[in-house]
Every structure is written in C-alpha cells, then in structure tokens.
Amino acid sequence: MDHTLKKTSKLTKRNRIIAYTFLLPNLLGFFVFIFFPVIASFFMSFTSWNGFGKIEFVGLENFIDLAQDKGFRISFVNTLLFTLISVPITLFLAIVVAVLLNKGVKFIKIFRTAVFLPYVTAPVAVAVVWQLIFNPSMGPINGFLSSVGIDNPPGWLSSPDWSLISVSIVFIWHNIGYYMIIYLAGLQNVPDSLYEAADIDGAGPIVKFFKITIPMLSPVIFFTSIIALIQSFKVFDFVYVLTEGGPGRSTNVLVYSIVNTAFERYEYGYASAMALILFLVILVISYIQFQGQKKWVNY
Amino acid sequence: MILKKIIVVMSAIILLLGLVAGCGAENESGGASENNTTTGSESGSEGTTSDSESQKPEEVTIRAAVFPGDEETFKIAYEDFKKQYPHINVEIDSFPIDKYYEKLRLELGGGSGYDVFAGQIDSMVDSDMLLPLDDLINENNTDVSGYGTLYDSMRVNGDVVGLPYRKSNWMMFYNKDLFDAKGVDYPSDDMTWDDFRELAKQMTSGEGVDKIYGAYFPHWAQAWYLPAVQTGATIIDKDLTPFKDALQYRMDLESDGSIMSWTESKSTKTSGGSYFQKGTLAMNIYGDWLVASLRKAEEEGKLSFDWDVAPIPHPEDVAKNTSLALPVTLMINKETEQQQAAFEFVQFMTGEQGAEHFASSGILTGYMSDKVKEAYIGDGSQKPENIQYFLETKEYSEYPMLPGVRNVIIKTIFVPEGELALIGQQTIDETIEIITERVQDEWADEFEGLYKLGN
C-alpha cells in the first residue's frame, strides 16, 4: 500500500515538472512583462520621478496630493459616469441581440457578423467615421434631427454636456458584438425543454426571457459584467481618438489622465499613484460583485 | 505538497530571472568599464596623434534625433558637413512629431541615447541631461554673434544648453487670387487686429462647399492668445488680463463668421497648412514652415493660386511686424562620449553654414548673417515675394521656455479652459480666472523659481 502510494507520487511529480516546463515560457512572459511592471509601478507610486536621474522617495505625498487634485477628481467622476452609462446598456443590448440572433432568423450568420464587426475594427478607424457622424453642423445625426424639427440638436463630441455620452455610444456600439458572442455561447446551454414546458404553461416570450433566459444565463451575465466593468474603467483609446479628453475636461477619464501625467507631464510617480487607485477601485468593485453574485447567480 | 512544489518552481523562476537580470547588469557594468577604457585610451591616443599624425583624426559616429519635418534639410546639410569633417559620421533619426519628446525622453532615460537632439529647451531641461555648452563654445572660438539676443535670452540658470537652428515664427499667408477676384488690396505690413477683422469680413463669402473664409487660425491655444503675447504679456503672468481681450477677439471673429469655428476646426481636424493649399482661404495665420510646404506643393503642381506673406497683424499700441516665435535648438547629451564631435555637428548645423541650408528652404534660422539673409530671401525667383519682412521681425517667445510650461500650462490648462470659453460654456472672465488659479496650483507651486531664464 505504502509502496504504491510512493510510486504514484513519483509519477505525479514527474508529470508536474513536465507541466510546469510547458508553462514556463508563458510564466516567464507574465513575470517580465506584467508582474514586474505592476510591482515596479506599485513602488513607484511612493516616489517622485521624471524619467531621469534619481528616484526620490516621497512616502504618501502623491496620495495626499491626489486627494486634493481637482483634475483627478474630475477624471474619477467621469470614469464612474462612463461606466454607469456604458456597462448596463452594453450588456442589456448584447443579451437582446444574442437572443434575437440565437436561432430561427434568416441570414443569421450575416447579422451576427454585422454585429460583431465593430469589435474587430480598429478604434482609430472607427473614430474617424464617428467623428463625421457626430459632426454638429454637417453630420447625418444632426441632419436627421433638424429635419424632424429639432431646432437645437446636441453638439455631441463638441459639447461638454454630451461628449461623455457620445463616447459611450461609440464604446457600446463597439463592444456589443463581443458580449453577444459570449451570450450566444451561453444560450447554447439553455435546454429547449425549459422553453417547451413554459409554452405548455402558456408563457409569452417576454415572461420566458425574464424567467428562463436571464436566470439560466446568470453565470454568463456575472462573468460579462466583471469584464465589461474592467474594460470600461480602462477606457482610453476611444477618448484619445475622439475627444482628447475635451471639450474642457469633460471626457478626461482616469486612464487618459494617467497617460497624460506620465508621458506629457513626466510625473511617473504621480501617475503610478493614480494607477494604483484605479487598481484598488476595480478590485473593490469586483469583490463586491463576487459577494453579490451569491444572491442572484444560479449555477 | 502541491503548494510546496509551486513554491519551488516559482523560486526557481525567480532565481532564473535574477540570473538573467544579473547577467544584464554585469554586461552593463562590463560595457561601461569597457567604454571607460576606450575613452581612456582615446584621450591617450589623442595626445600621441596630435604629436605624430594630426592629419588623420579617429573616425567617430554620433547619433542625432531631429524633428521629422527638418530631417530632410538636416540630411542635405549633413552632406556638406561631411566634406569638412570626414571623420565624423552622424546617424540622423526622427520620430513622429506628436510623440517626439515622449520617445526621445524614453530613449535618453533608458540610457541608449542620442548624442545630439533637436527640440525646444523647455521640454528637455528638467531631464538634467543637457550639456552646458559655454566651455565648448569658448574652446572652439565659436562665433555666436549671429544668434543675436537669442543667445543670452535662452540661457537656463545661466548656462547655454542649446543653440537655435530655427525660430518657428508666426506669419500671415494670403491667397492673392482671392484678393484679386474681389478687387481688394493685399494685406499691408502694418495692420492692426481691428483692420484685420474688417478685412476678414470683407473676404468671407459663400456657403457650404463654396465657403471661402476670410481668415483661419489653427485650433491651438497659441493661436487665440497671440495678440496678448504681442503686447509683452506671458502665459505665466500673475495678471492675465490681456488674455481676456485676446479670447474676446477670437470669439468676435467667430461670431462675424469670417473664420472657421474652433469646434469645426477641431472636429474636422483641419490643419491650417493643407487647408490653405485648397485655395478657399484668404488669409492664414500660421508658422514659417508653411513656406517650404507651399514651395513644394507649387513644384509638384498642386497649387492653383498665387500667394504671398505679410507680418501678422498687431494690437493697437504695438509696433508693426511684432510676432511670436518658438526657437528650436540642438542640444547635446551630457553623457555623450563624443563631446567634441557632437559639438562640431551642433556648431555646423546651427551656425552659418547649416543656417544657409535651412534659410534657403524658407526657414527663419536662429543664426543670422548677410549670407544667411541672402539665402533666405533667395534670388527673387522663388515665392514668397515679400519674405524679407521676417528679417526685421521683433519676436516674443510663444511662451517662457521653462519646464512644464508647454506640457502643463498649455496642454492641460490653456487648451481645455480656452476651449470651454470658445464654445460658450464659460464666460471669458471665468475662464481667465480659472486659468490663473490653475497655473498657480498646477505649475507655479511646483516649478516656479527652479529655473531661471537669461544670464
């Protein structure tokens, strides 16, 4: 007995070593390109450094400054607003589209491709087109709005009241396809028998959607909500190409501020402190989500 | 058990990484000591060569980073340089202009730097990488008279840290054909901003695709605040009242409809340079580098109209031909091992011989002499006809060339706050008040007093 046990453990040992050897290249990459920079940035957030010369340890000074920095506050609020607008709408629309394109539609593949296409298009290229669409004087949106009798159409990207919403619209449009694919995969696991039973009980499509589809998809919804949240907190590319944080500071989101602070103002320590705050915020929100999931996710 | 194994594997990886890093460090220090020995032997051999065979100086290679727009001229001038200094090889590189400083600073900070680099002093001086040039200038008996007042006014904390090769001054370009078609006189060299406003109104016509704007200002903060700086004010002044009038002026032009609005210019990413070349713009307030682009466009047959230049308009009580400029210099990395070679290159490019090349391509150079002036004006066969105005321009710096002024004050304060005023979200008084406050909080508290311009 004892003998056999020893033998297995030897075998497992060897297997594990082989496994780790296969993992090694990936782990190495992870350590060099992700783990190390993250740790370095953590330590850097307690220093003051302009990219040259001595790195000066300043303790918590960066964080104290951040607490009083109005610019940081603006970008923080902008990021929260952006997330509040974009995440629920993206996920909701993605579910609706996924259910509609799940089965029984003619040319289903063409429609699915059409919805997914924005996601694989480069943000920079997309931004150029959206800039034309949003153009307040010559763009098609305002052209349409004024033709139906709206005298004062919004200024979209050029108006501080609308710019964050405009960027959200582009962001939502870009991301729906990605989440749709995940939901479509989730829908494959919902057994038809549930819908058949509901049919017999006389349930309509809306009841079925809320009573069967949503609960059955809840693990997927949970997963996507975490991913979407992180993605929207990290938004940078669309802001950079659409508005450069403007007009004024109306679309200056956290990551945009971080990039600016580090690479325009050359305050690497301060930028790292901002990044650390961003990390902590995402961590806390994800933690809350994980705690909350027990109440609504069905496995 | 598994945990233990993971720990073992992890520590093995960390060890391995440490080893790699260790190797790197070792190499580095090895490299450094190697370099030290070479410099040592070099200086040793220098002594001997000067005794025996001074004809054949050792061949050296230096690296230079320059603005992409100037790369071509640098390369042409370099051919000339090579004739005089056959032993100095220069590798000239460039980065895209919007990422120029970011890239350059990363390269220099990473230690794999350039010996010589172009740029505005203020964007580099805080790096503490700039070699003070005073000693080299004395040793080489460099003629600095041609730099005029720039030589001393660009000192930082008393040191000369860069020599200017171009001034990048503002001028006004106008489309002669549009003026002829309207029967209006060409802009004179002595126009006030009020005259200019009237003229711009007069020259504006059409709608939609036929729209002809009387004037165009780029969507840069400098373009709205320039009338204020023409009066001698600077953007770091504690009292920014002159900037209120400047902002108001820009808004008046917009409400006249004689310039493209800030919003439209920005949302369509219009560039004053290419917009003017379309031929639907009467007067363009822009930088001197447009001369070279227009000449090139003309050569390629892309220009369908005749054009000329005039000094930018001036405020009521300011002398005519007062403009803004932003000198671009060549600086030397203080860690270069080839100080002398790097200096030879800088001296050549910013001095008379280099300046002749730049001037003949239409660029107003930092160094001025009769020869350079001649090269700038040309033999009269080249446009613009009235380029000679700019030899007598009185210039104010676009902004004080101190660290953070461009990156913090202009980019993150003047641009967004000015924009809010221009799109009517903030009154002018509010805007200037906020700007004053933010300049104090975000710039002055940190940078003021650290660096001093001039002697």
Helix (H), strand (E), coil (C) string for B83-125: HHCCCEEEEEEECCHHHHHHHHHHHHHCCCCCCEEEECHHHCH
**Residue-level pLDDT at A205:** 86
- Chain A, window 185-244: residues with a beta carbon less than 8 angstroms from a chain B beta carbon: none
Q: Do A247 and B128 touch (CB under 8 A)?
A: no
Q: How far is A123 from chain B (nearest CA, A)?
A: 17
SS3 A282: helix
Domains in chain B, start-ordered, CATH in brackets? 58-169+326-399 (3.40.190.10), 171-324+402-447 (3.40.190.10)
Mean pLDDT, rounded, for A88-108: 89
Q: Cβ distance A21 to B5 under 8 Å?
A: no
Q: Cβ distance A119 to A177 under 8 Å?
A: yes
Quote the distance between the C-alpha of residue A255 and its chain's center.
Answer: 12
Residues in chain B: 455
Residue B180 has pLDDT above 90, yes or no: yes
Burial class (CB within 10 angstroms; exposed 0-12, middle 13-18, buried 19+) of A298: exposed
Mean pLDDT, rounded, for B423-443: 90
Q: Do A246 and B268 touch (CB under 8 A)?
A: no
Indicate the pLDDT class of residue B55, thresholds 50, 70 and 90.
low
Stated as kind and residue range, the H or E segment containing A47 is strand A47-48
Q: Do B109 and A263 touch (CB under 8 A)?
A: no
pTM of the complete model: 0.81
Q: Do A71 and B417 touch (CB under 8 A)?
A: no
Q: Cβ distance A242 to A126 under 8 Å?
A: no
Q: From edge to edge, which strands make up the β-sheet containing B170-175?
A: B213-216, B281-287, B170-175, B307-310
Mutate to test the interface with B, among A33, A55, A263, A270 (most CBs of B within 10 A): A263
Report which DSSP code applies to B132: P
CA distances from B272 to B221, B297, B356 (A): 14, 14, 27
Q: How far is B109 from chain A (nearest CA, A)?
A: 5
Residue A28 corresponds to which tokens in the numbers above?
């190495």
On chain A, the residues whose CB falls within 8 A of the CB of B16 are 28
**Bridge-based pairing state of the strands B281-287 and B170-175:** antiparallel
Mean pLDDT, rounded, for B231-260: 91
Mean pLDDT of chain B: 84
Helices and strands (DSSP H and E) totals, chain A: 14, 2
Indicate the pLDDT class of residue B229, thresholds 50, 70 and 90.
very high
Nearest-by-Cβ selection for B416 from A13, A136, A249? A249
Q: Cβ distance B265 to B218 under 8 Å?
A: yes
Q: Do A136 and B416 touch (CB under 8 A)?
A: no
Residue A138 has pLDDT above 90, yes or no: no
Burial class (CB within 10 angstroms; exposed 0-12, middle 13-18, buried 19+) of A10: exposed
Phi, psi at B384, each rounded to 5° = -85, 150
**Intra-chain end-to-end CA distance of chain A, in Å:** 39
Question: Is 3.40.190.10 the CATH classification of the domain at A70-296?
Answer: no
A6-61: pLDDT as tens digits: 566 888 888 889 999 999 999 999 999 999 999 999 999 999 888 887 788 998 98
Q: How many CA atoms lie within 13 A of B173 on its CB side?
A: 30
- Tokens 């300043």 identify what position? A58
Residue B32 has pLDDT above 70, yes or no: no
Q: Is the pLDDT higher at A104 or at A183?
A: A183
Residue B64 corresponds to which tokens in the numbers above?
């230079």
Residue A77 has pLDDT above 80, yes or no: yes
Q: How far is A77 from chain B (nearest CA, A)?
A: 17
Residue B37 has pLDDT above 70, yes or no: no
| Beta carbons within 8 Å of B416's beta carbon, 6+ residues apart | A245, A246, A247, A248, A249, A252
Stated as kind and residue range, the H or E segment containing B283 is strand B281-287
Q: What percentage of chain A carries pLDDT values higher than 90?
A: 49
Closest listed residue to residue B257, CA positions, set B207, B220, B312: B207
**Bridge-based pairing state of the strands B328-332 and B163-166:** antiparallel
Q: Do A160 and B423 touch (CB under 8 A)?
A: yes
Contact with chain B for residue A53, Cβ under 8 A:
yes
Q: How far is B10 from chain A (nearest CA, A)?
A: 9
Mean pLDDT, rounded, for A172-195: 92
On chain B, the residues whose CB falls within 8 A of the CB of A252 are 416
Q: How far is A214 from chain B (nearest CA, A)?
A: 39
**Residue-level pLDDT at B281:** 92
Q: How far is B231 from chain A (nearest CA, A)?
A: 27
**Residue-level pLDDT at B41:** 37
Q: How far is B325 from chain A (nearest CA, A)?
A: 22
On chain A, the residues whose CB falls within 8 A of the CB of B129 are 52
Indicate the pLDDT class of residue B362, thresholds 50, 70 and 90.
confident
- Cα gap B293→B46, rounded to integer Å: 45
Contact with chain B for residue A136, Cβ under 8 A:
yes
SS3 A205: helix
B72-125: pLDDT as tens digits: 899 999 999 999 999 999 999 999 988 898 889 888 887 777 999 999 998 888
Mutate to test the interface with B, among A157, A265, A267, A270 (most CBs of B within 10 A): A265
Q: Cβ distance B446 to B412 under 8 Å?
A: no
On chain A, the residues whose CB falls within 8 A of the CB of B8 are none
Residue A202 has pLDDT above 90, yes or no: no
| Beta carbons within 8 Å of A213's beta carbon, 6+ residues apart | A95, A99, A187, A190
Nearest-by-Cβ selection for B263 from A9, A53, A136? A136
Q: If you count residue pairs, one on A and one on B, with CB atoms under 8 Å apart, how many are there?
A: 83
**Residue-level pLDDT at B40:** 36
Q: Do B13 and A24 touch (CB under 8 A)?
A: yes
On chain A, the residues whose CB falls within 8 A of the CB of B263 are 136, 155, 158
Q: Which amino acid is at B86?
A: P
On chain A, the residues whose CB falls within 8 A of the CB of B442 are 71
- Cα gap A190→B371, rounded to integer Å: 84
Q: Which amino acid is at B75?
A: K
B262-275: pLDDT as tens digits: 888 887 788 888 89
**Residue-level pLDDT at B436:** 93
Q: Cβ distance A246 to B419 under 8 Å?
A: yes
Residue B22 corresponds to which tokens in the numbers above?
């260790």
Mean pLDDT, rounded, for A68-95: 94
On chain A, the residues whose CB falls within 8 A of the CB of B17 are 28, 31-32
Stated as kind and residue range, the H or E segment containing A3 is helix A2-30
CB count in 10 Å sphere of residue B9 = 18
Ordered DSSP codes for B209-226 = GG-BEEEE--SSHHHHHH
Q: What percentage of chain A carries pLDDT values higher than 70?
A: 97
- Cα gap A62→A46, rounded to integer Å: 7
- Tokens 């091992």 identify what position? B337
Q: How far is A244 from chain B (nearest CA, A)?
A: 10
On chain B, the residues whose CB falls within 8 A of the CB of A260 are 411-412
- Taking CA–CA distances from B20, the nearest residue in chain A reads A32
Q: Which of A2-16, A65-79, B44-58 has the highest mean pLDDT?
A: A65-79
Q: Do B419 and A246 touch (CB under 8 A)?
A: yes
Indicate the pLDDT class of residue B286, thresholds 50, 70 and 90.
very high
